[in-house]
Structure 1
């Protein structure tokens, strides 16, 4: 049996498309190397792009290990209820569904919601309350002078750094931070959503819809561009059990309050492979804009390193959306319609097309958010701010659901080290 597989063989073993296989490589789940004459045997009937993708080799043992893990995950999902407390990290949830290339918030298509709903309305849907309950929640019990002093002290720091400091500071001022009643939790949830946004954009907390607050802080005067920010916030609201959301649920299961759980989510979001993806996409835009030949640049960018590992290309190929991320599709379509007359929108489209032709991978939400930041000339880090300000609504929904469940999340580890004799 060969120790290597072609792209076609690896994709078949994993039960995925070649585009998803590339996404696995870009996210570090698999490694690939240039094929030798003995391993490059793509069928001649394939197209030029498919042959190029197939002319890479994948370690057969690594592919089979990943296939076994996927099978384990499917089996684990069937017994999640029995093993949650001391089992594998699979949770049951009624908040978000990703299926058939679509995203649903409590049964409603998130892309359709993004066409008209505000983040506050989506928060009400996710938190299972009325929109008026979110809008009419009491203001944060923090003196305006105190908040202003905090903002001034941390004015030179990034939105994330500012939020990581100000949320715990604000929690210390909340008299009902530990309250478990439904009304108190919803009040704290609304305050948390407003304070995080205020910390991210360095502004005073407000009860005004968040997309308007953000548009005002960034000097976005156009109503249709502010509407694009609204849609982006809605599409960032939740995405099932990603790293930050699972972190929030784990922290919540210990019994801590919403502010503590959200601060943990922010810390997880800070990683370059999660919330930091937008920063990497912004860097990709800069490099591509200065390239003399875009296709040559991508060929060099995707060339494997000395270990035979193909570098990740941020912003492309999502394993959960093999046919393309619907969130990115809507935002990029709307951005093209709302772009200023003189903007780098053409560069954004050309880069996406070139990557599609080279790898078959399509843009993700991270790409779309970074494109909004670039095309509308928003402040540096605006893409991350949109992501975090929207995602906190989902974190809160998961924290409320975890509180209602009441159990401690404590997964078991699958030991793969040296065997210890009895």
Structure 2
């Protein structure tokens, strides 16, 4: 790709990299995660970037004084640490936890500090009935996030102690909410599963009509566990802002679901699913990767600003998917996508690409990864809400930097 002079107000890839103090391939990582928007140069010789947007990102990276007064830059948390291409839940390797224990066990341990082997989350009949009625009332074209939000609101209305923010009350609400999110979804086929089955099995039966083999079910459970938390992602920040107003846990989780609905967050897995399905249909990854790059689009499922190498969540899921014979073609194609893009962009697979392998290989719809992401992340949102309830109320109130006309001006 040849660098060249950009239009007025636009920067070339090299110029943007110099302003940000990063390598050119890192600029494309910012694009893939939605931190920068790129535009294909009319001459077809590369991408260009808005200079003002690049400068805003550079200021955030420098943590300049104008940003230093923002309380959202100083949120203390004891939940997740990310460094050296790995991440830990309360000091314990998150990938190893996911390999050893089930989602409900890890979630409950994250909240309480006590591991309870075999714990199951089950919703009371009232909450579940309300959740199912709310989901059933939605239009047929409703998306994953729509159904989950409806179920969360319905469950909240049935919980008379939802406004009690004492730790035990919040945990009681969490153990109602998570199974309601899953069991309120309509079954994907005949049969389904019972409400006393493991949560991963109940979720599986709502995402695909295919029967679940042991390895596939274990991989879905691992995905839920790996996605429990990832520091202060946009949806988690939304949860903490809601919790800082002393919104009850259902409302705080609903705030997270709203942020997750964005195409650059929870819906990113659906884009990777469609890209992977297209690559399988066309018999290889190279033409699909080329089409994305030719159109000036980032390749879904690649790159993460917190990791230099491969996302450790993708690493763990690829390992598990390698034990599922039916996932072989999708996994091989996903690795081809990573290899083909790496030649020019040096971007590694992220968790969205790994989820795409799972959902494509299991016959799930494109938005299934969003459902998996939301259900898994709800446990982390509850943990962050609990932390925020212990902080001063209304503390997450940054000051705006006014850029409008100076008063006084005449009435319009």
Q: Same fold (TM over 0.5)?
A: yes
Tell whether the 8 Å contact from 2:25 to 2:347 is kept in structure 1 after alignment: yes
- Partner residue, 1:135: 119
Selected match of 1:355 from 328, 331, 341: 341
2:63 match: secondary structure = helix
- Partner residue, 1:258: 249
- Partner residue, 1:50: none
1:189 match: secondary structure = helix
User: In the aligned structure 2, how far is the partner of 1:320 from the partner of 1:104?
Assistant: 13
- Partner residue, 1:238: 229
User: In the aligned structure 2, how far is the partner of 1:107 from the partner of 1:349?
Assistant: 30
Bigger Cα displacement from structure 2, 128-137 vs 183-192: 128-137
**In structure 2, do the counterparts of structure 1 residues 406 and 235 end up closer, same or farther at CA, with 3 Å as the change threshold?**
same
Tell whether the 8 Å contact from 1:177 to 1:188 is kept in structure 2 after alignment: yes
- Partner residue, 1:101: 85
User: In the aligned structure 2, how far is the partner of 1:323 from the partner of 1:141?
Assistant: 46
**In structure 2, do the counterparts of structure 1 residues 410 and 373 end up closer, same or farther at CA, with 3 Å as the change threshold?**
same
Selected match of 2:202 from 192, 213, 237: 213
User: In the aligned structure 2, how far is the partner of 1:204 from the partner of 1:346?
Assistant: 31
2:126 match: secondary structure = coil
- Partner residue, 2:214: 223
Tell whether the 8 Å contact from 2:120 to 2:199 is kept in structure 1 after alignment: no
User: In the aligned structure 2, how far is the partner of 1:154 from the partner of 1:205?
Assistant: 24
Bigger Cα displacement from structure 2, 388-397 vs 130-139: 130-139
**In structure 2, do the counterparts of structure 1 residues 132 and 292 end up closer, same or farther at CA, with 3 Å as the change threshold?**
closer
User: In the aligned structure 2, how far is the partner of 1:394 from the partner of 1:300?
Assistant: 37
User: Alpha-carbon deviation of 1:348?
Assistant: 2.5
1:198-253 per-residue CA deviation (whole Å, 9 max, x = no partner) reads 23465888354322322354444311111111110111111111111111111111
**In structure 2, do the counterparts of structure 1 residues 150 and 107 end up closer, same or farther at CA, with 3 Å as the change threshold?**
same
User: In the aligned structure 2, how far is the partner of 1:375 from the partner of 1:145?
Assistant: 32
Tell whether the 8 Å contact from 2:276 to 2:330 is kept in structure 1 after alignment: no
Bigger Cα displacement from structure 2, 141-150 vs 243-252: 141-150
- Partner residue, 1:191: 176
**In structure 2, do the counterparts of structure 1 residues 105 and 59 end up closer, same or farther at CA, with 3 Å as the change threshold?**
same
1:340 match: secondary structure = helix
User: Alpha-carbon deviation of 1:90?
Assistant: 3.9
Bigger Cα displacement from structure 2, 8-17 vs 375-384: 8-17
Matching of residue 329 in structure 1 with residue 315 in structure 2: yes
Q: Cα RMSD (Å) of the superposition?
A: 3.4
Matching of residue 182 in structure 1 with residue 167 in structure 2: yes
User: In the aligned structure 2, how far is the partner of 1:120 from the partner of 1:75?
Assistant: 42
- Partner residue, 1:386: 372
User: In the aligned structure 2, how far is the partner of 1:401 from the partner of 1:292?
Assistant: 48
After superposition, residues 64-75 of structure 1 pair within 5 angstroms as 64-72=55-63
Tell whether the 8 Å contact from 1:120 to 1:131 is kept in structure 2 after alignment: no
- Partner residue, 2:75: 91
User: In the aligned structure 1, how far is the partner of 2:277 from the partner of 2:122?
Assistant: 43
Ranges in structure 1 where 5+ consecutive residues have no aligned partner: 41-54, 305-309
2:257 match: secondary structure = helix
- Partner residue, 1:123: 107
1:343-371 per-residue CA deviation (whole Å, 9 max, x = no partner) reads 43332232222122232211211111111
1:315-364 per-residue CA deviation (whole Å, 9 max, x = no partner) reads 11111112221111221232122131774333223222212223221121
User: In the aligned structure 2, how far is the partner of 1:205 from the partner of 1:74?
Assistant: 55
2:158 match: secondary structure = coil
User: In the aligned structure 1, how far is the partner of 2:186 from the partner of 2:73?
Assistant: 34
- Give the structure-2-normalised TM-score: 0.83
Ranges in structure 2 where 5+ consecutive residues have no aligned partner: none
**In structure 2, do the counterparts of structure 1 residues 267 and 205 end up closer, same or farther at CA, with 3 Å as the change threshold?**
farther
Tell whether the 8 Å contact from 1:159 to 1:201 is kept in structure 2 after alignment: no
Selected match of 1:396 from 382, 387, 402: 382
Tell whether the 8 Å contact from 1:124 to 1:134 is kept in structure 2 after alignment: no
Tell whether the 8 Å contact from 1:244 to 1:265 is kept in structure 2 after alignment: yes
Bigger Cα displacement from structure 2, 259-268 vs 147-156: 147-156
User: Alpha-carbon deviation of 1:297?
Assistant: 4.0
User: Alpha-carbon deviation of 1:25?
Assistant: 2.8
- Partner residue, 1:285: 276
**In structure 2, do the counterparts of structure 1 residues 410 and 58 end up closer, same or farther at CA, with 3 Å as the change threshold?**
closer
- Partner residue, 1:51: none
1:291-325 per-residue CA deviation (whole Å, 9 max, x = no partner) reads 47753443332235xxxxx3233211111112221
- Give the structure-1-normalised TM-score: 0.81
User: Alpha-carbon deviation of 1:139?
Assistant: 4.3
Matching of residue 169 in structure 1 with residue 154 in structure 2: yes
Tell whether the 8 Å contact from 2:153 to 2:251 is kept in structure 1 after alignment: yes
1:107-132 per-residue CA deviation (whole Å, 9 max, x = no partner) reads 11211212112112221232134343
User: Alpha-carbon deviation of 1:137?
Assistant: 7.0
